[in-house]
Amino acid sequence: MNLSFIKLRVADAAWILIDRVGAEGADPDWSAAARELCSTVRGCGAQGLAVLERLSGSHAARAWDRKGRVCPLSPSALLCIARWLFDMGQIVGESVQISSREGLHDIVVLDSRNFSIGLGVAQVRAEGTRSTVRLGEYSLTLRLIDGPLPRKRARTADRTGGDADVDVAVLAREMLRIRGYGSDALLSAGAGLAAAHKADFAEREASVALGRDQVIVQWLESGELYVAGQPHYCFRGEFWAEEQSPSEA
C-alpha cells in the first residue's frame, strides 16, 4: 500500500506522522515501516513513527521508535500530533485529548502554532552540580554548567540503566540551553529547568534552548511541570509498505 506521511519537529525532535483515521484494509508492518522511514540513510531521519487512529470516536495514536520497537508517545510526538490535528480542523476548543497505550494525554492549544503539555510532577535529587529528575516513569540524570555548553560532549561517569544524560547550561535565571542524549527533547527541557531551579540557578519559568529551537518551561509550586513549544513542518512524502496478512497482523 502507498502511505502518505508528514515529518514534523519540535525542539529539535522530529517525528513521522501517518494519519490512518478512516483508512480501510489491513495495516502494514508498522515496525518495519518505522525502521525504514526513520533511518537517516534509507528514510528521512526521525525519532519515531506515530500512527493516528480513532478509538471510540476519540483521537488515538500508536508509536514505534527508530529501531521499530513499540514505544510510548513522547511529549514531542504529542505536540506534533496536536499541530496536525489543529491544522486539519480536528480540534474544537482550547485543548485536545489523545489516547495511547499509556492512557489519555491532554494538550492545550495556546494559538494556531503553539501548544502546551504537562510532563507530570518533577522529583529532584541534587548532589552539587549533578541532579536526578524523575518524571513519572522517566528518570533523567543532569549536569549543571555555569555558562555556555562545552563544544564537545563530556560523558558522565554515573549514567546507569536507561537513564538519560542531559547537560544544562545556565545562561541567565530565565534562559537555559540544554543538550540531551537519548531522551525526549521536551522531557530534557523540563528536567533541566527543574534541576536548575532546585539549585537556585533559575526561576520557575524560563526559556530553554535546544539546538536552534526554544521552548518555555514552567514548574508550578505543586510540582507539576509544563512545557510549551511550536511544532514545525519539515516535509511530506509517500512510502510503499507491504500489507500484513491477517495471521501476521
Domains of the chain, by residue range, sit at 2-98+232-240, 117-229
Alpha carbon 230 to chain centroid, angstroms: 12
What secondary structure does DSSP assign to 8-66, as a single string? EEETTEEEEEEE-TT--S--B-HHHHHHHHH-TTTS---SEEEEEEEETTEEEEEEEET
pLDDT at 218: 98
How high is the pLDDT of residue 80?
Answer: 97
What per-residue confidence (pLDDT) applies to 92? Answer: 87
Q: What is the pLDDT of residue 245?
A: 55
- For residues 216 and 228, give the distance between their C-alpha atoms in angstroms, rounded to a whole number: 5
CATH topology of domain 2-98+232-240: Diaminopimelate Epimerase; Chain A, domain 1 (3.10.310)
Q: What is the pLDDT along the chain (249 residues), one digit of tens a residue?
A: 888 999 999 988 999 999 998 887 788 999 999 999 999 998 899 999 999 998 777 899 999 999 999 999 999 999 999 999 999 999 989 999 999 998 999 999 999 999 999 999 999 999 888 999 999 888 999 999 988 888 765 554 444 344 448 999 999 999 999 998 888 999 999 999 999 999 999 999 999 999 889 999 999 999 999 999 999 999 999 988 776 655 554
Alpha carbons 177 and 192: distance in angstroms, whole number = 9
H/E run at residue 96 = strand 95-100
What is the rounded CA–CA span in Å between residue 129 and residue 156?
Answer: 12
Please tell me if the domain spanning 2-98+232-240 has the same topology as the one spanning 117-229.
Answer: yes
Q: What is the pLDDT of residue 33?
A: 94
This prediction's pTM: 0.90
Query: What fold, for 117-229?
Result: Diaminopimelate Epimerase; Chain A, domain 1 (3.10.310)
